[in-house]
């Protein structure tokens, strides 16, 4: 039996101690809470997780600990994409071995202006080296940050070369017309929108849900729209949901979300961030929290 | 005794076997050849080395092997910058332990639009964690590829906070007015130009040399200019030198350089590249090699 991943996934924020080491017990508890609060699954080690600021060893130890703690691997889609094929292979092989429902794969993102051929070969090389039939790849398209992205031509080649292995994507391009093209061209390819702003549009066109930073703080509200997208008032529900993102859109996303968590829990360590990210200033945080409370 | 690094450094190309594993013996021989042919030092694991396409373990094993083979660590400035502080710490600590003359440090480059404060903290955190008095940091500014770079304000803060530890930079911005500003503002800060096109200008303003991709193929010619920059005909020597870069400038740099190496040695494995990089087409390679031969 294969259950395809779908629904509402949080790219889980990574709580850190004052020495900036990942607070794994707190992280595991937060993962459990997100599932209890409405997430259908989790995408640990996403952009919002500061994954690319974590060491390779740290990521692997955390994922082992999460699965060992009993969080169902089948509901996990850990981020695995790095600049280097051997490192991406390590992370992907571990995820497949642990039985993760999928992996979220950034393209190699150091070199810019690379060709479609190069991106295709990079992903293909990872899949071949992992060589595990359990591997399920979701390509991760986020050109605003990674700069390098996945073109439709690359997706098409990957689907032809690795049917049943390359099964979907997360699109964080912020570009609805791109996402629409993917949905139109590749029926059966499971597209998660990277922003819950497009959730209704995504579902109406056959998309499978969202992997959204906002799912860290309003998982239940996003899940409600997912569960009721066929309802008559779905557009209003979407509009209502958009107000939370609107409230935070003028602020650096990860610092803002950690600020909301610190404010909600009273636990100041939620503010710990790894450089190069830094916290909002006190005044800015105050302003953002007020807008968020009013959303 | 402290000898400051200076002169002509090659960001050493990484020869790979057909299975894309690094061919370490061939690499070590190439490193020795470059030193014999005019390089005053080597910057293995630079952008041109496809360093960010190598796994963390691969990089560490290669550097150990290079020093073990007797290439003087004091003449080495390995690239160590990654997206994640713990990984950069690992590579930097190894280099310091081996007695490398310096390390070449990219800023963390995944997140874009980060603040000066964030970049400063990232470098500071690495230096503090390495905690080795032998560490000598050269910051690596290459916004055309890494997107994230080092502002003058960050350099100033680093020099104040870590005098004698942060000692220089490689500037591959391609922006002479930026490099000129750094040279003017920070006397005693050792600036290598990332392109030998600016070598004469760099040396005339007190810079210390170049770390140039072209030093992989014309180390002796670049060294000649370095040794004779005070000569009356230095401008002509620079102009003569520029013709080699001109000949290759319309082509992807790393594939072009590997093509030149393959052509020169008759060893086709020099063409092996890690995805996402790909070779020039046969026609393009032919055209480039003809221009290069005529330079």
Between helix B219-227 and helix B24-37 the angle, nearest 10°, is: 30
Specify the CATH number of the domain B7-232.
Answer: 3.20.20.70
Question: What is the C-alpha separation between B215 and B253, in angstroms, rounded?
Answer: 12
B54 contacts A278? CB cut-off 8 A: no
**Which one-letter DSSP state was computed for residue A78?**
-
Separation of CA A264 from chain center: 22
User: Is-contact A46 A211, C-beta < 8 A?
Assistant: yes
A53 and B108 within 8 Å at the Cβ level: the answer is yes
pLDDT reading at B45 higher than 90: yes
Return the SS3 of B79.
strand
Global confidence as pTM: 0.96
Q: Do the beta carbons of residue A293 and residue A256 sit within 8 Å?
A: no
DSSP single-letter state for residue B180? H
Measured CA to CA, the distance from residue B287 to residue B277 in angstroms comes to: 19
pLDDT of residue A2: 53
Contacts of B269 (CB under 8 A, 6+ apart): B15, B16, B17, B18, B23, B26, B262
Mean pLDDT of chain A: 97
Name the band, by pLDDT with cuts 50, 70 and 90, for residue A289.
very high
The whole-number average pLDDT for the span A211-235 is 98
Q: What is the pLDDT of residue B20?
A: 97
Give the chain A residue nearest B144 (alpha carbons).
Answer: A112
**Does A52 sit within 8 Å of B111, measured CB to CB?**
yes
* Three-state secondary-structure class, residue B146: helix
CB contact under 8 A, B277 and A111: yes
Distance of CA B65 to the CA centre of its chain: 19
Q: Which of B73, B75, B37 is nearest to B214 (CA)?
A: B37
Between CA A238 and CA A196 the distance in angstroms is 8
For residue B56, list chain A residues with Cβ-Cβ distance below 8 A: 56, 84, 87
Among B112, B275, B277, pick the best mutation site for testing chain A contact (most A Cβ within 10 A).
B275
The answer to whether residue A1 scores a pLDDT higher than 60 is no
Per DSSP (E only), the strands in chain A are 7-10, 41-42, 103-105, 137-141, 166-171, 190-193, 209-211
DSSP letter assigned to residue A106: P
Tell me what pLDDT residue A215 has: 98
B208 and B3 in contact (C-beta within 8 Å)? no
Nearest CA in chain A to B254: A111
Interface test with B, best of A109, A150, A272, A276 (most B CBs within 10 A): A276
Share of chain A above pLDDT 90, in %: 99
CA pair distance B117, B54, nearest whole angstrom:
29
Distance from CA of B120 to the nearest CA of A (A): 8
Substitution target from A17, A256, A275 for chain B, most B beta carbons within 10 A: A275
Using the beta-carbon criterion (under 8 Å), do B87 and A56 form an inter-chain contact?
Answer: yes
Residue A91: which of A119, A126, A118 has the closest Cα?
A126
User: Residue A85's closest CA among A115, A124, A116, A131?
Assistant: A124
The 3-state DSSP class for residue A16 equals strand
pLDDT in tens, B220-277: 999 999 999 999 999 999 999 999 999 999 999 999 999 999 999 999 999 999 999 9
Distance of CA A143 to the CA centre of its chain: 14
- Locate A4 and state its tokens: 């395809």
State residue B2's pLDDT score.
Answer: 52
Domain locations along chain B:
7-232
Closest chain A residue to the Cα of B121, Cα to Cα: A275
- Residue B276: which of A87, A118, A278 has the nearest Cβ? A118
Distance CA A243, CA A230 (A): 21
B260 in Cβ contact with A70 (< 8 Å): no
Q: Is-contact A78 A92, C-beta < 8 A?
A: no
| A122 contacts chain B (CB < 8 A) | yes
Mean pLDDT of A189-213: 97
Please determine, for the modelled complex, whether the ipTM score is greater than 0.85: yes
| Closest of A67, A258, A41, A55 to residue A168, by C-alpha | A41
**Residues of chain A positioned with their CB less than 8 A from the CB of B21:** none
Average pLDDT over residues B90-106: 98
| Mean pLDDT across A40-57 | 97
Determine the distance in angstroms separating the CA of A67 from the nearest CA of chain B, rounded to an integer: 23
Burial of A272-290, coded b for 16+ CB within 10 Å and e otherwise, reads: bbbbbbbbbeeebbeebbe
Q: How many CB atoms lie within 10 A of CB B295?
A: 14
A210 - beta bridge partners?
A8, A193
Which tokens go with B156? 């100033």
Direct distance between the N- and C-terminal alpha carbons of chain B, in angstroms, rounded to an integer: 42
Q: Which residues of A touch B110 (CB under 8 A)?
A: 47, 52-53, 109, 145-146
- Inter-chain touch A118–B86, beta carbons under 8 Å: no
CB contact under 8 A, B121 and A278: yes
Contact (CB<8Å) B53/A278: no
Given a cut of 50, whether residue B1 has pLDDT beyond it is no
C-alpha to C-alpha distance for A280 and A267, rounded to whole angstroms:
16
A147 Cβ under 8 Å from any chain B Cβ? yes
Characterize the bridge pairing of strands B103-105 and A103-105.
unpaired
């Amino acid at each position: 039996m294969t259950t395809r991943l779908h629904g509402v996934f949080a790219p889980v924020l990574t709580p850190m101690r004052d020495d900036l080491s990942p607070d794994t017990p707190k992280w595991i508890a937060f993962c459990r809470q997100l599932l209890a609060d409405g997430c259908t699954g989790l995408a640990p080690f996403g952009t919002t997780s500061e994954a690319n600021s974590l060491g390779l060893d740290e990521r692997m130890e955390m994922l082992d600990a999460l699965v060992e703690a009993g969080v169902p691997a089948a509901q996990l889609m850990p981020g695995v994409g790095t600049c280097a094929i051997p490192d991406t292979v390590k992370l992907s092989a571990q995820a497949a071995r642990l039985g993760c429902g999928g992996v979220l794969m950034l393209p190699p993102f150091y070199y810019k202006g690379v060709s479609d051929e190069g991106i295709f070969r990079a992903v293909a090389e990872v899949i071949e080296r992992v060589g595990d039939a359990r591997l399920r790849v979701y390509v991760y398209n986020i050109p605003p940050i990674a700069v390098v992205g996945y073109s439709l031509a690359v997706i098409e080649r990957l689907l032809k070369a690795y049917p049943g292995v390359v099964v979907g994507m997360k699109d964080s391009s912020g570009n609805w017309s791109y996402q629409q093209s993917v949905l139109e061209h590749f029926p059966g390819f499971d597209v998660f929108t990277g922003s819950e702003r497009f959730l209704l549009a995504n579902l109406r066109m056959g998309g499978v849900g969202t992997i959204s930073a906002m799912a860290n703080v309003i998982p239940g509200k996003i899940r409600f729209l997912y569960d009721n997208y066929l309802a008559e008032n779905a557009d209003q529900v979407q509009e209502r949901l958009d107000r939370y993102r609107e409230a935070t859109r003028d602020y650096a996303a990860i610092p803002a979300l950690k600020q909301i968590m610190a404010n909600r829990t009273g636990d100041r360590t939620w503010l710990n961030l790894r450089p190069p990210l830094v916290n909002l200033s006190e005044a800015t945080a105050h302003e953002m929290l007020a807008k968020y409370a009013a959303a």
